[in-house]
Amino acid sequence: MLWSFLLFLGAAPPLGVFANPLATKRWSDLVEKHSWAEIPRGWEYVRSPDPEHILEMRIGLKQNKINELISSLYQISDPKHDRYGKHLSKQEADALVAPHPDSAEAVESWLSDHGFKTDDITFRSGGGEWIVIPMTVSQAEAMLGAKYELYRHSLSSSYVVRTLSYSLPRELHNHINMVSPTTYFGTLRSMKATHFIQSNSFGEEKGFTLSPEAVPPSSCATQITPACLKVLYNTSGYVPQATDVNVLGIAGYLDEFANRADLQTFFTAFLPEAVGTSFDTITVNNGGDNQSDPGVEANLDIQYTEGMSFPTPNIYYSTGGSPPFNPDSETPTDTNEPYLDWLNFVLSQDTIPQTITTSYGDDEQTVPNDFAVSVCNLFAELGVRGTTVLFSSGDLGVGGGDCLTNDGTDTVLFQPDFPASCPFVTAVGGTVGINPEVAVDFSGGGFSRYFPTPDYQVEAVNSFLEGLGDTFSGLFNSSGRAYPDVAAQSENFIVIIGGEAFLVGGTSASSPTTAGVISLLNDFRLSNGQSSLGFINPLIYANPGGFNDIVSGSNPGCGTQGFSAGIGWDPVTGLGTPDFLKLQAIVSA
């Protein structure tokens, strides 16, 4: 969408040619948009940045009809509604998220007053609600009433140029959702990639074969392969048919590259019929594809999405945006918003994979509320267009570390994960063991403090809360969006990395596994002339019988034993692990 203000700005004189006193007064009435009480934990002040340091400023305008889009999402995702499965086209979704003309006019005037011209602006969304404008630190400070500093994340050695507070002209609070980079300190290098290497275990696994019994062999209790998962989740007998339409996507970050040679080694050992086939890589925002540098996360994801969904086409999105930052550089470009870049890229495409999995997350409290809501609404756009979005729920139970709040009060509270806490994604927790599966003790789960409990899960969550009683009273928001929604195996996954086999664990394993099952369900529907599933949460909460209920285990954290798994939904394993055959019967209606 091209705004009218392109012509307006194109005709504007350079900054300083003349000044409009009324316009200047209009934009000098600054009111705080967001601030932190203290430097976010894990970050330390380094020094003031060069005033000429370049920030790629992203401005998210309020979407004129976002409530209509969300209402459509719930109707389209409700199996009892007559709009069920009637997903919106790109053009229909773009029309709902486009900014109101008044918002466009206000931002036009503001940018013009600060001397920006047509060539300075890039549109990052089909609806025109996201724009990117490179500007210097000194320009950003003047526009936003902010003071930018250089900060370092001690554990990951990430550097960012951020401010502890920023403001907008009073009038623009009604027109702009967020501006970034400002107060969101998280970068993917400081976020939690939800995986960990358990051991190097190459050797015996290459000869691993699944016995013909209808239950997993005992070796699946200590070594997970695609064959184990197919038996556990009842997909063994299904052969995909809609491979000309159905696609499974993996969102990758952090210069994590999915290695094709390792995939062939994996296929040779565990899926011989797939040898010789591969996946597509799409690079976003200068993402790479270095085949000499295989990533643990990337290989885990692609080997198990391929292992579960073959021969369904897979796409690995390699998203840049977190380049090494040289704190001594005078004018490097700060581009640490890969979530926004990836989402805007995918939403700008005419076709999107029907299933997408991502395995990164951060403490919700470290994400400014305006940023979280804006990103969450982008996931709603994916859902309304027919895509199921899955996120791992995290590997820190109800919270890691001291669990102190960052609002200046240092209160101990359970710490939910974002984006798992977004109500428009399907969050996947973790299990371990077979016959029975139990909750793994690191499975992330809890209740959002940003998003309220959505209608689709009220009944299930209330039932859990009634059984919980006063336990952990005050430590979590009982009226918040609860997660995870479902779960899957999360330990002892055999992954080939650089030609060697490792055992890898984490809910990073659970999410691609579940994505593989959902992709097969999408294949089934598409091959029968039905639509893709899209946003599945209303469907699955209405049909909990499609899952294997996990009734034991807990997710300790914050100095507590955490929540306990039990009959029905719980904030450790959600509704349980998927049973493909039961779900197939449910989605065939």
**Is 348 noted as a catalytic residue in this protein?**
no
Task: Please tell me what DSSP assigns to residue 495.
Answer: E
The answer to whether 60 is annotated as binding is no
530 vs 543: CA distance, rounded Å: 19
* Cβ(222)–Cβ(492) below 8 Å: yes
Question: Three-state SS for 574?
Answer: strand
> Which residues on adjacent β-strands are paired with residue 289?
none
Residue reference for tokens 């951060």: 362
The answer to whether 550 is annotated as binding is yes
194 vs 192: CA distance, rounded Å: 6
List, in sequence order, the alpha helices (H) in 188-274.
226-232, 260-270
Query: Terminal CA-to-CA distance of the chain, rounded, Å?
Result: 38
- Choosing from 129, 255, 301, 523, the catalytic residue is 301
419 vs 362: CA distance, rounded Å: 7
C-alpha distances in Å from residue 140, one per residue of 48, 477, 478: 14, 36, 39
476 vs 397: CA distance, rounded Å: 13
The answer to whether 176 is annotated as binding is no
The answer to whether 410 is annotated as binding is no
297 vs 361: CA distance, rounded Å: 13
* Cβ(514)–Cβ(391) below 8 Å: no
- Choosing from 297, 363, 364, 370, the catalytic residue is 297
* Cβ(557)–Cβ(446) below 8 Å: no
**Is 508 noted as a catalytic residue in this protein?**
yes
- Choosing from 508, 511, 519, 554, the catalytic residue is 508
**How many C-beta atoms lie closer than 10 Å to residue 231's C-beta?**
19
Residue among 340, 576, 331, 569 at smallest CA distance from 468: 569
Largest CA distance in the chain: 82
Helices 66-77 and 90-97, packing angle to 10 deg:
140
**Is 297 noted as a catalytic residue in this protein?**
yes
426-432/486-489 β-pairing: parallel
Name the binding residues for Ca(2+). Answer: 549-550, 568, 570
> What are the catalytic residues?
297, 301, 508
- Residue stretches of the annotated binding site: 549-550, 568, 570
